[in-house]
Amino acid sequence: MIHRLPSVWMQVKQPGIGLSGRCKLPANPKRGVRAASTPVFVIIVCFVLLLSFCGAASAEDLQPGNYCASCHVAADPAPGKLAEWQARPPEEATCPAVKAYREELLYTEQLLTATERAGTFAGSGAVAAQEKRLAAFRQGYDALRQAPVTSLDAFTSQAQTLRFQGNKVLTAFNQAIDAGKRNRVLLFAVLVTLVVLGSLAWGLRNTLKFRPAARAWWREGRPGWGTVAVAGLVFVLFALPLFRTPAAVVAIPTAEEQAVQTTLDTSGRVADTADRALARAWMLARVGAAWSQLDPAQGEVALNAALEAAAEAEEYADALWGQAWAAWEAGIGSPATQEKAALLAAQLEAVRSRAWGLRLIAAEWAAVDPARAAEIMAQAQALAEKNRTVYGQVDLAAIAAEWPRVDPGQAASTLAKVTDPALRPWAEAAVAAGKAMPNAGYVLRTDRIAATLNDVAAARESLLKLPTEAEKAEVLRHIAAKTGAQEDFDAALSMALAARVRGDPLAPAEASLALAKAMLPVNRAMAGAAFAQAFDAAQKIAVKYK
């Protein structure tokens, strides 16, 4: 899950320089020399700027991808070392996806610490319901740390959802703390008021002893109009600040601001769609490679669909380039908007002209037809060599690492084209691993269900306690594989299609594919139905942004 920030986006836009059709020599010859040298000076400045941008390309950092398989190969041990991800601080993480993962985990941990501290301060003011929600927050954080990471966006979405629930608990504790402070302030105010009223009563009593006229006024209970007016004025002056409510400030965006935001939102959708299109091609290839064991003809159909999906993703290159420039132009004049535009342009650059979809198709098809896989891998290498950004080097390094599984003779020549000093050792180690590399794994969440998978009865009982369809699909898959019953398979097939994970568009297709692989040795007809559902779910992954 590594990409790199763009290195060629110009953040300074100079005004246009045009040359007229006719040019008259000036009267002053010196001025003529300066005028003639101006275009040369502009060309030199542009050349220097171009060199500076090209020189700064290698110094940029990579952008995280949604799937580790987009940059890492199966032999790379980094994606599987989840404990090391959590132990290392974000600034020391070499993989940007690991850094993003660690940051999300750190934000959640800090919120949990603040919530527990607020609960301690709230004391008896924290009701039992809030204590239960705090316990659920702790359990959710522990599950977040222990869960396998299939998709970075899915993990980020889950962490954000957990923090949203934690913020509710923190707000409730803070409200309890504020209510305790208000009660203490109110008690103090009541005591002060009693003291003041006692003082006034004492003063009035002493006054009535020495003023007979005042004593008569008090007994008759008829104060003068002046006294009433003064008392009413004092009450109004003291009561007005209590009932005054400031008007809420509502910021209404202008038409220009709305247009800028629309451009930025479109850029974000384009980047997500391009990444989704490449993942869709990979998923179709995985379905085709597995389906070919049962039906070679259907496997070939799935492979052709995967290649068409990869070609469709490649067509996004021009649109991504134009959308990145549109984002830059939209951000001109506002530092905050420019920062958002820079991030979106980086995401767009990270998915433009990428070859990892074709690479993964070839890697999946290597066990089915090595010759066809070699052709596809050659297409991926040609596409990567055309990409002059740092992402071309990332793709070339991964392609060199995958060549031993397809054609070992091509690995050395591809490895020679990897010139990035950080990627070269990684690619050399992966090439040295050779054909021993297994296929890249894809695991849905199983941290809360692993203990119940060996016992069918316990697995059925756990279905009532699992909160997500993805986890239920895992349990039902194991039940169907163990019993082979039609009703269990139907339930597993329906739940696999419903196993949607926010941020991971491959989840329903992956759940269906896992069910098909599990049913293949049990019932081939059931496995065929699951393969067909996986293929249909992969084809229906949305790849349109307009």
pLDDT one-digit tens code per residue, 493-510: 999 999 888 888 999 999
Q: Which has more pLDDT, 35 or 153?
A: 153
Q: Which has more pLDDT, 194 or 23?
A: 194
- Residue type for position 451: A
The DSSP letter of residue 344 is H
Helix (H, G, I), strand (E, B) or coil at 4: coil
- Give the least confident one: 283-297, 302-316, 320-334: 320-334
Spatial distance between the Cα atoms of 80 and 68, rounded to a whole number of angstroms: 10
Q: Which has more pLDDT, 391 or 126?
A: 391
Q: What was the pLDDT predicted at 204?
A: 64
pLDDT over 60 at 21, yes or no:
no
pLDDT over 50 at 32, yes or no:
no
The average confidence (pLDDT) of the chain is: 75
97, 101, 76, 73: which is closest to 87 by C-alpha?
Answer: 101
Task: Give the confidence band of 51 by pLDDT, cuts at 50, 70, 90.
Answer: very low
Task: Give 141-176 pLDDT, tens digit per residue.
Answer: 888 887 777 788 888 988 999 999 999 999 888 888
Task: Give the confidence band of 372 by pLDDT, cuts at 50, 70, 90.
Answer: very high
- Residue 71: what are its φ and ψ, rounded to 5°? -130, -35
Cβ of 366: how many Cβ atoms within 10 Å? 24
CB 391 within 8 A of CB 9: no
Q: Which has more pLDDT, 483 or 257?
A: 483
Mean pLDDT of 212-232: 61
CB 105 within 8 A of CB 145: yes
Q: How far is CA 291 from the centre of its chain?
A: 32
Taking the alpha carbons at both ends of the chain, their separation in whole angstroms is 26
Q: What percent of the chain has pLDDT over 90?
A: 20
Q: Which two tokens stand for residue 531?
A: 């393969």
- Residue type for position 335: P
280, 493, 273: which is closest to 288 by C-alpha?
Answer: 280
- Residue type for position 316: Y
Q: What was the pLDDT predicted at 78?
A: 65
Spatial distance between the Cα atoms of 135 and 140, rounded to a whole number of angstroms: 9
β-strand partners of 504: 501
* Exposed / middle / buried, residue 319 (Cβ in 10 Å: 0-12, 13-18, 19+): middle
pTM: 0.73
504, 364, 492: which is closest to 437 by C-alpha?
Answer: 364
- What contacts 419, CB < 8 A, 6 or more positions away? 393
